[in-house]
Structure 1
Amino acid sequence: MTHHLPPQPAISEATILSTVAAVCDAAALAHDLELFLQQVVDTLRPLLDTDRVVVYQVLPDQDGLIAAESVGADWLPLRGQLIYDPCFENGWGDRYRHGHVGVVTDVQHDHLEPCYADLLTRLQVQAKLAVPIFAGTQLWALLIVHRCGGPCNWHQSSHELLKHVARQVGQTIYQNELERQLAQQQTRPAPEQTEQLFQLFTDHVDQLLFIRDAVSGQFLYVNAAFERIWEQPLAGLYDDPGLWLRQIHPDDLPQVLNSVGRQFEGNSVRREYRIVRPSGEVRWIEAHVRVVEDDQGQPRYMVGWADDCTEHREQQAHLRAAEATLSRRVGQEQLLRMLTARMRETLDFETILSAAVAGIKAVFSADRAVIFEILPDGNRRIAQQATHPNYVTITDAMIPPGPLSPDYTARLRTGQPYIVNDIDTALWSSEILAFLNNIMVRSAMIAPIAHPFGGDSHPVWGILVVHACGKNRQWQPFEANMLQHFADQLTTALHQAELYRQLQAANRELDRIAKVDSLTQLANRRWLDEYLNQEWQRLARERKPLSVVLADVDFFKPYNDTYGHAAGDQCLIEIASTIGYGARRPADLAARYGGEEFALVLPDTDTAGAIRVVQTVRHHLQILALPHGASPNSPTITLSFGVATLVPTPGRSAESILAAADQALYAAKAAGRNQYQVSAQGPDQQ
């Protein structure tokens, strides 16, 4: 078998159905079998994107005739040729007579009989797909598709298309043969005609075959299949021609009656309808009817066949459901990939959770998607949710308090998702069931979210839940697996978000360390200079005043010499807390200027405001009353202050206000300390 061949594109269910309908229409209108077969192969070749489609009529002597062909211009035409296939002698013909589908994907590499490989090579065939055409029970022909330009990995939908078309072609051929034989028998005596009809129809037992008088409606012949399909005695139909009609389902009867008139318009009528058997069982019937005219062109007979197509319709419904499931699964996987990609675009966990519930609700066409966080004490809270407007939004107060049951917790710890298609059958506590009924949940899918840092004591961070509220939903296992996959992605996002939070905290701490004096925990000189320049530029644009206060501890060296450096450090810490009373507004900054000097930056503050700040600091310093036995001026620690106020201008630098405050501080110390002095350079002296 050939490996690694690219798959043939799939043919949709809708395309298959429309093609079969087109073949049925062509059969109804065609009066020439050869023309009908040509229409079939011409229709199939572009649809299957292949090089040659033929109807290979099987002859009694094992030869075959190419009865119809549609072939590309680059390939050898075969129509009308008699082709001998020696492999029919080795049982190939019998296999096709039993419904075998012949598949060759690569003539060069598939394990074929040498005679068969020879034949295909001579016909320029590299890949082949063949299905039998039965006229009644007889193998009449093969419907064959050739790929001449290279191998082909035939898609299953191509098999299905050819089977459906072959079935319709076989029925048309069979009905055509019936009409031909009936036309020949119209001139024969009645006894001979009856005998021929009996012989003709007893050959076929799978389908219901019938002949009716076109004028009276009387059944002239019906085979025994009527009893099997309608579950009524055959004799009853001869006595009562309307018996079959009375068993038609009431919902389908109008369209059947409507189609009866079309039989006399020169068309072959195809019907599908339901019948109700005497047992009450409902079955689907497919029927084809054609009116046969006499030599004067008047309706003479109604001939046709009918079959129980219930299983076929169920198979088609199953196929459509499978195709819809596959389509939904592909769409869900695509949306989940998009959602996962969006999650990777941000490290903010709240943003991730919000996008997750909205996306998951859409992916699974759910009524609600919820992420519950399990707290250390076992209680749950709503981390995020997305809910359809028709249903209630869950609040934390609605969640039953207390930890989950041990069985529920143990199931979450397995890390596996699970499905509850009917909440009423779930083995949960009465409190949980009451909660779910309160929020109108009918079905649910649950996936645990592992805790990346929880360890054995707290392995589950939370629960990702999808709700169906309007009615019960039959969730599929692959959907639960997809939900768990996304829950695992949330665990990864949680891990990354926590690492990012720790990194941000570390960066903030580094930033704080870079700006804060380690002893006093006030701003350091570096941050003071940076902040002062920043405020200087801002207030220069706004033309507002800026005040700076410098403070110096009086007689601090004698204090250090008397009490020691450790006491001196503690003294500076206490003074720093007092200086902090001067920076009460968010824009104010208290800093250690250097050694025993401190500074206050007071944006948008005039001289009077700066003096009030100094008085506040002095007041708290007096309350603090730190002893200073080595001071010649005061028994407690005192400070000298220099105050400067300027309106910043672009032409001057922030150093000018520091220099003015420093000059004022020098004047305060020269005047005897324990006081403040205001710079002679006021805000209007630029």
Structure 2
Amino acid sequence: MKQDSLYTYHFLEFETGTPALKWCQQEIPDIILLDFALPDGDGLKFIQQFRECHSNTQTAVIMLTGQGDEITAVRAMKSGVQDYLVKKKLTSEVLQGAIHHALERMDLTRQLEQSQEQQQLIAAIALRIRQSLKLEEILHTTATEVRQFLKVDRVVIYQFQPDMSGTIMAESVLPGWTVALGKEILDTCFQQGAESDYHQGKKRAIDDIYQAGLTNCHLQLLEQFEVKANLVVPILVKEQLWGLLIAHQCSASRHWQSVELDLLDRLAVQIAIAIQQGSAYQQLQAELAERQRTEAALKASEEKLKLTLSFAGIGYWEWNPITDQILASENAIRCFGSDLSDVNWTYEKWRGQVYPEDREWVEPQLRQAIATQTDYAVEYRIVWQDGSIHWVSVKGRGVYEATGKLLRMLGVLIDITERKFSEEERRRAQMLRIELRLLEQILEVGLAGY
């Protein structure tokens, strides 16, 4: 074990390539110092076999050779060698510089790959949010993908209640660790006001919970879930603290990288978008459900009313003054002596069946009711297609805009022909009795003169 100002090194030395390659099949080194001329083979052949085992690793290879030439150097670089050193020119400073340079390149490459993976993860989650309105599904998938990406033991998404208690809404956890999904947590630390940092959007990275100066209540809470290190990022929805996105390392303490904290911070923004989108969708669904219930109740009420009117022989009508169409029930159509298949009723068609003498006062009375926004109630005669005359009693009420414009008029009507004829018969009988009485009186006066 050796170290310098930047790194700590653990060396493993092999005399030949075969045992070294066998070891590399089980472990992945950060740097390989490789002799070009191995006792049991070619150094370039060793690199080829190593890359076949670990094609995706960022292991840096520095090749050492007894004598350097351009052809060998080019072959080495094409094989994936990061640096090429000639032994007779080798010093500790040169070797240290080559190692530092190789490690820096390896770190930059890893950071670039990690950044690309982060971008892909964030883009995938953002796409899923745009494509799905199921908040629960989005939260659980996000927790799983974050845990796999960070290679941590547990990732949870936690939602606060108004009293700062809360519930684990989503979780992805490796086997063997406590399952926290659905658990309600009563955190006295937050209730005492420690949540203010999260309200301000501040993040927290703890490498070792026992070295972070946490309060006893906070430690006890983390110990319930075997936490050794954690990352915590607040989820702010419309500038209000909704909850937390948390990564747990349970197996050991862990030094968190700034890129890992940045990833959780960016994902917390995506989660906030999903929450707003999901909340809006749930509200829309609730409104639609309420509207459907209202419409169903209204429809049931209308059907009940129509059934009642049908049994009572009462017709229902609805006039749309904009389209001039009249919607009429079967009873209403019967009152006008029309065939039930004749459903194309208009204002002009109705007007044409009103008895001519009655039409002169029925229409003005209708216009007066509309102008004053009062109920319309009349009795008038209509002429059937066979020429017979019938009586109807009609009541109507308008539906108006705020400006007073008539949107539609609803009403009922009933055939009162029999009643009118009975009234006419009674009136005629009464007139006949009066006439007879008058004749009797005249006859009595006449007889009295003799």
- TM-score, structure 2 normalization: 0.50
Higher RCO (C-alpha under 8 Å, 6+ residues apart): 2
- TM-score, structure 1 normalization: 0.34
Which has a greater percent of helix? Answer: 2
